[in-house]
Amino acid sequence: MNDQEKLDRLKRLIAALECLRADDPAASIYRMLIPLLVARNPEVEIDDMAAELDLERSVVSRNLTLLAQYGNPKKPPKNLLKSEENPKHRRKRMFTLTKKGRTLIDNVLTILYSEDPVISEPTKKGENK
């Protein structure tokens, strides 16, 4: 892979991260990774996410609260995930993508794997936009 190809891949990765952060510019990398984990493994449980991300369950739970349909009183929900009771373990919850969540993941994958040119170079200081 030559330097230009590496640069193009980095640009695509940055554009995909910007897409994941569009609704929440302050989102942590973990909050961006959770929908990707759910897309890869539908009906994943919180304990499995915590283990894969090497995070405390409470950290994953806090991020799920913001990403799921229920949200919390201080911040509106992102509605990217939905939570359902696990029929095998009634005290555990499974998470899947909502339609909005699936659209977000599709957009991220399109950015990463599109043959189209990547977003233009950032404007240099002092140049007109």
The pLDDT of residue 100: 93
Orientation of helix 46-53 relative to helix 57-67, angle to 10°: 120
Q: How is 116-127 classified by DSSP, letter by letter?
A: SPPPPPPPPTT-
The pLDDT of residue 122: 47
Would residue 125 count as lying in a domain?
Answer: no
CATH code, domain with 71: 1.10.10.10
> What's the domain range around 19?
3-113
Higher pLDDT, 128 or 103: 103
Count Cα neighbours of 110 within 13 Å in the Cβ-side half-sphere. Answer: 9
How far apart are alpha carbons 86 and 125 in whole angstroms? Answer: 53
Region 22-26: what's the mean pLDDT?
Answer: 83
Q: How far apart are the first and last CA of the chain?
A: 32
Would residue 20 count as lying in a domain?
Answer: yes
Would residue 128 count as lying in a domain?
Answer: no
- Count Cβ atoms below 10 Å from residue 35 Cβ, excluding itself: 24
Number of domains the chain contains: 1
Residue 62 near residue 47 (C-beta atoms within 8 A): no
Region 31-45: what's the mean pLDDT?
Answer: 91
Would residue 124 count as lying in a domain?
Answer: no
Would residue 129 count as lying in a domain?
Answer: no
Give residue 85's pLDDT band: very low, low, confident or very high (50, 70, 90): confident
Would residue 43 count as lying in a domain?
Answer: yes
Residue 69 near residue 16 (C-beta atoms within 8 A): no
> What single DSSP character describes residue 68?
B
Residue 124 has pLDDT above 70, yes or no: no
> What single DSSP character describes residue 112?
H
Residue 96 near residue 38 (C-beta atoms within 8 A): yes
pTM above 0.85, yes or no: no
